[in-house]
Amino acid sequence: MKKYIIILSVVTLLGSCSEGFLDKDPHEFTDAVFWKTAAQAESALAGVYTPLQDEEALGGEEWCGMEAFSDIGYMNDNYSDFIAMSEFRAVQNTENDLSLNSYKSYYKVIKRANDVLAHVPGISMDEAQKKRILGEANFLLAFAYFNEVVRYGGVPLYDPNNVESSLVRATEEQIWAAIEASLVQATSQLAYEHEEGRPGLGAAWGLLAKVYAYEKKWTECKNAAEQVINSGKHVLYPVYSDLFTLEHDNESENLWVLGARLGEYPITSILYLPNNVWGGTHEEELGAGWRLVSATNSFYDSYQPLDKRKAATVAKRDVDKVTYNGSTDLLKAPNNQSAVVCIKYMQPYAAAYTSWSPGLSIPALRYADVLLIHAEAMMNLNGGGPDKRTVGVAAAAASLNLVRSRAGLAAINAPTFNDLMYERKMELAFEGGGRHFDLVRWGLAAEVYNNLPAEGTYKPKRTFVPATHRLLPFPQQEIDNSNGSLKQNAGYH
């Protein structure tokens, strides 16, 4: 399919400017030099997307690694500090590159989005184009803050007019309020029709519904989700497994996908693939991956019978066949400790695995997620919820059963919160750590994690202490650079 690469060439956008000017990041220029034309506004907006496409952000190592915090995955590679965090035994945040680099990448997005919002309104240009640019900047600003607050809690609220504010952590409530404000603004600026790789109005309403769910604002959550549902612009794609292929990664189910750079980033496929697919018996083995994160046996065994998502998400050594570079055979993956591999992003016929990435876009927000968020809101508004997990709620059935039906599962007339937990676990597995963040926001992480037995040495027995482990340790380098103005999260030092 035709790929829309979101990172536009600064050379193309700025035309006749000097070569030295072109080599600079547009966000480094002063007002007197930059922020004069529509082309410069588009260039600056493209720069907001850039950090998300790097190895450290969406679809990169930390994004994949967050699955190790949950009950569905674990880390194979030797990121000792990050592994200690995922096993809830870290009390001191040393130089954890995965966490630090992710934090910095999202903060680049925050800074650059603020630049766009501060300067583009003053540019003389087509008003519809300006409105879209500001809408995308507001969405990306909210998206970056969302990823920061669920990991670290209160973070600095960047103010371009008061840089000193970046040295003080805002409260979590202040961050959530800022996210809400940006998304509400984006809903008045974006349209449902949008180019691939850019968020549209569906993405703005969808993320806002998700934000309200984290804040337990269930009426607002329901209403925001219904903006997407009732628009008629988004539907579930019939075949779950196809959503994660090069041919179908821009279906209408994807409210927003992060555009890929062929051979560069995101590198999700490589990170999940084992570094030996066939056990050395196939020539195609040369293009295998890093096995950074793999699936647990308990997750593999937890699928309900007939759930089609299992074959599209995981495969087990010497049990399941997989297609890789056009060849189909039993999975070997001899170096995987659990024998279970995440195959969600494996491209069966992509020959580009000899490079960093086959060019697969990352599903940052899907319609299925919004449907399940809507079902969750209906449960909480009608007598169900995480503290009433066995209460059936008929009002949640319509949205939840759309997701179940595609998975090949029977409809449930009055689904319970336990049913919702299952659907979110299986539907959104290996999509950026959503399972862990769900369990934390539901207040169920300690119950689920602490009752899990050890699974080999790769997934030891863990003790989750909510007061500490609901958040990651704040990056120590950022604390040091602030001369102590930024404080560490409770329970870490």
Q: Where are the domains of the chain?
A: 10-190+474-481, 268-360, 366-451
Q: Give me the pLDDT at residue 92, please.
A: 66
Counting Cα atoms < 13 Å in the Cβ hemisphere of 454 gives 6
- In which band, very low, low, confident or very high, does the pLDDT at 32 lie, cut at 50, 70 and 90? low
Q: What average pLDDT score do residues 408-421 get?
A: 99
Which residue has better confidence, 349 or 142?
142
Angle, CA 290 vertex, CA 286 and CA 296 arms, to 5°: 125
Residue 21, H or E segment: helix 19-22
Per-residue burial over 317-343, b if 16 or more Cβ lie within 10 Å, else e, is beebebebbebeeebbbeebbbbbbbb
Q: What average pLDDT score do residues 102-108 get?
A: 93
Q: Give me the pLDDT at residue 466, please.
A: 97
Summarised one tens digit per residue, pLDDT across range 317-361 is: 999 999 877 789 999 888 889 999 999 988 877 654 555 556 678
Residue 13 pLDDT greater than 50, yes or no: no
Residue 46 pLDDT greater than 60, yes or no: yes
Least confident among 34-48, 96-110, 437-451, 455-469: 96-110
Residue 436 pLDDT greater than 50, yes or no: yes
Token pair, residue 350, equals 């992509």
Q: Give me the pLDDT at residue 23, please.
A: 34
The C-alpha atoms of residue 253 and residue 233 are separated, in whole angstroms, by 9
**How much of the chain exceeds pLDDT 70, in percent?**
86
Among candidates 199, 208, 157, which has minimal Cα distance to 180?
208
Q: What average pLDDT score do residues 404-429 get?
A: 99
44 and 134 in contact (C-beta within 8 Å)?
no
Q: Give me the pLDDT at residue 216, please.
A: 99
Mean pLDDT across the chain: 87
Least confident among 98-102, 260-264, 282-286: 282-286
Angle, CA 256 vertex, CA 107 and CA 191 arms, to 5°: 105
**How much of the chain exceeds pLDDT 90, in percent?**
65
Q: Give me the pLDDT at residue 10, please.
A: 29
The C-alpha atoms of residue 196 and residue 248 are separated, in whole angstroms, by 12
Residue 251 pLDDT greater than 70, yes or no: yes
Q: Give me the pLDDT at residue 345, please.
A: 87
Summarised one tens digit per residue, pLDDT across range 55-78 is: 677 878 888 899 999 999 999 877
pTM (predicted TM-score):
0.91
Among candidates 332, 454, 463, which has minimal Cα distance to 74?
454
Residue 484, H or E segment: none
- In which band, very low, low, confident or very high, does the pLDDT at 266 lie, cut at 50, 70 and 90? low
The C-alpha atoms of residue 481 and residue 485 are separated, in whole angstroms, by 9
Which residue has better confidence, 25 or 296?
296
For 10-190+474-481, CATH gives 1.25.40.390
50 and 6 in contact (C-beta within 8 Å)?
no
Q: What average pLDDT score do residues 97-102 get?
A: 84
